[in-house]
Structure 1
Amino acid sequence: MHVAVLGAGYAGVTLTRKLESRLPPEVDITLVNENPEHVLVHETHRAIRRPAVADAISVPLSDLLDRAELVVDRVVDVDPDGGRAELASGDAVEWDYGALCLGSETAYYGIEGLREHATPLKSLDHAATIRADFLDVLADGGRAVVGGAGLSGVQVAGELAALADEEGRAVPGDVEVVIVEMLSEVAANFPPNFRRAVREQLEARGVEIRTETTVERVRGDRIVTDDGDLAYDQFVWTGGIAGDEALDGDRPAVRADLRLGERTFALGDAASVVDAAGEPVPASASAAVREADTAAENLARLVDHERSPSADGFAPRLARYRFDVPGWLVSVGDGAVAQLGPTVLTGAAARATKASVGAGYLTSVGAVRNAVELAEEELR
């Protein structure tokens, strides 16, 4: 019997490691990923200001796996019902049971000129490009615009403002960092006290916030919005996510058992998950890790049932994922905002919490050295 996991982000790595311990040794496990390393995507913004952090947040997948076979290749097409994925090399992977954990891509929403003129933040290469472009802005003076005021956009704007400060360039001044958001608030999908704290952290660092401003078109030197033109020297886009190209940009909907078909599951950012309470689950690393536990349990139950069918012939009852995370975290330059239950923390307490979460995740997947390095970088 063969179980395949496509994608090695938070969901894919966590799921594969759990399957290694839960499935019988006679069951083959394959993990397919385009790159040979697992990257903590939610920390890539740190590499804009501190390129050395890339070493702490990149872990060779071979170091994280016990018995699963690693296939380094790009998935270009998926047939969930048929249990088959086509790879860029021309090879294919077939499975008895599988899981789509391909993550997400940047959504451009068909906005004219956006893809051509804006830099996304989905990889360490993107972080390096953003850094290089912003150093040019610092050298000549100008305006960097961040599109989207979700957590990713907030973190990028915070890093740019902090980098300007480290380079001795005040923000605002002859260098500006502007964050543009179509909704009425930054971090709009989060509780009011969290939103207020995030806004205060951005404003304290000189970031200009323009909410209720929709990007309509992008030119080489200006962004056309419903509130007028906005000139820019650098444009970073973090305004939303779409499915992987192998899924035609879709994020298929799955219910709380995370089942996409009879033999295939979908989880993490690759799917639009509705949990056991009927609530949509926000795309986040913490949700992906917890969904992986549910998916691993369900795959183990199905594999066990197929290997040793029950006397009554009924399929096993599957576990259901319920979205429940202890809180939310976002870094804003050298500051941070943490919400734990109803309590919102800023300052040193929030920074320590942020550092412990990233380091804790790395420790949970066996990357202890990286955990120590990341904690040191976070608390510098």
Structure 2
Amino acid sequence: MAKKVVILGAGYAGLVTALKLNKLASAGDCEIILVNKHDYHQMITQLHESAAGAKSDRDIRIPLASVLKGKNIKFIKDTVEAIDKQAKQVKLKSQVLSYDYLVVSLGSESEYFGIPGLKEYSFSLKSINQARLIRIHIEKCFADYHYDPTPDKLTFVVGGAGFSGIELVGELADALPKLAEENNIPYERVKLYNVEAAPMILPGFDEELVKVAEHSLKSRGVNFLVGVPIIRVEPGKVHLKNGEIIETQTLVWTGGVRGSQIVIDAGFETEPRGRAKVDEYLRAIGHEDVFIIGDSCFVMNEETGRPYPPTAQIAIQMGENCAANLYASIKGTQKEKFVPNLLGSVASLGRKDAIGKVGKSLKTKGWIAYRIKDMSQVRYLAKIGMIFK
């Protein structure tokens, strides 16, 4: 009898799991059900470009109907509300699904570290809809300035200087001068801040390349406040630990992630920030029928003593490993331990500029690094069968 495999979330990890399992298994092996709250797949790694207006929503939104066409995968557009691991059921907004195997790939949520007002008075950048809100809001700030020319309308703050924060800052550094010109506003009135609690931007990245990024961004007007935590946010004001107050109508928070609340509420074992602990086969601790992958889970890098970062590269590899282990579980064959193959990392800085490391030692910057990042997107589109569609 075919096993029912329910996959929650059509992000990088979930979608790759569904597509690879479909390749490995026959209809008699399993029934694959993919659940997602939208009928499209989001290219999360390009949200910063949409938020700054460099790309339209449709450029980073892939219809799931196109990806799944001709595949033995049933798609359900619905919202996941709860997981009952004892009953082996998933409660959706409109129905309840039973499962033999469950894959949880619900992504992550923003971590606000208990900072008063931060959640209430900042934008997040976790979805296409949120990117659209940021873009519309910024354009409105410029338009409103003509009628009420207060400096806070033209002051833009990005909280967090990890990859997401730096890539957004880079795109804004390109976009804001154009918006100022279009609205006939002198650009010297526009202020762009990047605030980071850690002592350097891009924490953990190669220091030589970090200096390159910092120089590129500063030359385009970015003001860095590094080693300065945000301690409180209220309407129109960002309070910093050094006593400084930034008056702004725009704070975008990219400073941390935590696991899905649904995973926490289901009672799976998690680390302090809510990401699920998994075994070497990406199964939830104590549950051989539940795989938790992507940003929803926590995998330790034994070499560094730190968890692997929640990146698309690792999420895609988790999806491939998860599919192989699902198939092995169904067929009763040997499973594969998850061992990430880190190909490198590239951070875009806007304006066809980037920094990156290929493998463990090759450093790259400028246009070449930017092209490498572009090629990684092309490879992913090829993987999910969308490169010629």
TM-score by length of 1: 0.89
Q: Paired residue for 1:35, among 35, 38, 59? A: 38
Deviations 1:247-273 (A, max 9, x none): 247211113210111101111001112
Report the equivalent of 1:50.
53
Report the equivalent of 1:112.
116
| Counterpart-to-counterpart distance in 2, 1:172 and 1:185 | 27
Following superposition, the deviation at residue 327 of structure 1 comes to: 0.9
| Counterpart-to-counterpart distance in 2, 1:197 and 1:184 | 16
Task: Report whether the alignment pairs 1:122 with 2:126.
Answer: yes
Asked if the contact 1:146–1:179 (Cα under 8 Å) also holds between the matched residues in 2, the reply is: yes
Q: Paired residue for 2:156, among 141, 144, 153? A: 144
Following superposition, the deviation at residue 97 of structure 1 comes to: 1.1
Asked if the contact 2:295–2:310 (Cα under 8 Å) also holds between the matched residues in 1, the reply is: yes
Following superposition, the deviation at residue 188 of structure 1 comes to: 0.3
CA RMSD, Structure 1 to Structure 2 (Å): 2.0
Structural mapping, 1:261-300, within 5 Å: 261-274=287-300, 280-300=307-327
Q: Paired residue for 1:330, among 347, 354, 361? A: 347
Asked if the contact 2:104–2:293 (Cα under 8 Å) also holds between the matched residues in 1, the reply is: yes
Following superposition, the deviation at residue 124 of structure 1 comes to: 1.6
Structure 1 SS opposite 2:331: helix
Change (3 A) 1:67 1:181: same
Q: Identify the range of structure 1 (160-169 vs 38-47) with the bigger mean alpha-carbon deviation.
A: 160-169
Give the letter aligned to residue 120 of structure 1.
S
Task: Report whether the alignment pairs 1:340 with 2:344.
Answer: no
Report the equivalent of 1:303.
330
Asked if the contact 1:275–1:323 (Cα under 8 Å) also holds between the matched residues in 2, the reply is: no
Structural mapping, 1:172-183, within 5 Å: 173-183=188-198
Listed as ranges, the gaps of 5+ residues in structure 2 are: 146-150, 266-273
Deviations 1:111-161 (A, max 9, x none): 211111101111122112212222244453521000011111111111111
Deviations 1:277-315 (A, max 9, x none): 67521100000001111111111111001xxxxxxxxxx
Report the equivalent of 1:227.
242
Percent sequence identity over matched residues? 28
Q: Paired residue for 2:22, among 20, 23, 30? A: 20
Following superposition, the deviation at residue 168 of structure 1 comes to: 4.7
Give the letter aligned to residue 63 of structure 2.
P
Structure 2 SS opposite 1:44: helix
Structure 2 SS opposite 1:145: strand
Deviations 1:181-216 (A, max 9, x none): 100111102222332232222212211111111111
Structural mapping, 1:90-109, within 5 Å: 91-109=95-113
Task: Report whether the alignment pairs 1:160 with 2:166.
Answer: no
Report the equivalent of 2:139.
135
Structure 1 SS opposite 2:123: coil
Following superposition, the deviation at residue 49 of structure 1 comes to: 3.1
Give the letter aligned to residue 201 of structure 1.
S
Change (3 A) 1:104 1:255: same
Report the equivalent of 1:75.
80
Q: Paired residue for 1:256, among 255, 266, 280? A: 280
Asked if the contact 1:267–1:273 (Cα under 8 Å) also holds between the matched residues in 2, the reply is: no
| Counterpart-to-counterpart distance in 2, 1:94 and 1:171 | 60
Listed as ranges, the gaps of 5+ residues in structure 1 are: 306-315, 371-380
Report the equivalent of 2:66.
63
TM-score by length of 2: 0.87
Report the equivalent of 1:308.
none
Asked if the contact 2:180–2:187 (Cα under 8 Å) also holds between the matched residues in 1, the reply is: no
Structure 1 SS opposite 2:381: helix
Task: Report whether the alignment pairs 1:194 with 2:217.
Answer: no
Report the equivalent of 1:349.
368
| Counterpart-to-counterpart distance in 2, 1:92 and 1:124 | 27
Asked if the contact 1:8–1:33 (Cα under 8 Å) also holds between the matched residues in 2, the reply is: yes
Structural mapping, 1:204-215, within 5 Å: 204-215=219-230
Deviations 1:76-101 (A, max 9, x none): 11134543211112x11221112111
Report the equivalent of 1:309.
none
Structure 2 SS opposite 1:154: helix
Structure 2 SS opposite 1:99: strand
Give the letter aligned to residue 263 of structure 1.
D
Following superposition, the deviation at residue 276 of structure 1 comes to: 7.1
| Counterpart-to-counterpart distance in 2, 1:197 and 1:82 | 53
| Counterpart-to-counterpart distance in 1, 2:24 and 2:312 | 22
| Counterpart-to-counterpart distance in 1, 2:281 and 2:328 | 12
| Counterpart-to-counterpart distance in 2, 1:286 and 1:11 | 9
Report the equivalent of 2:7.
5
| Counterpart-to-counterpart distance in 1, 2:384 and 2:67 | 7
Task: Report whether the alignment pairs 1:320 with 2:337.
Answer: yes
Asked if the contact 1:275–1:320 (Cα under 8 Å) also holds between the matched residues in 2, the reply is: no
Structure 2 SS opposite 1:116: coil
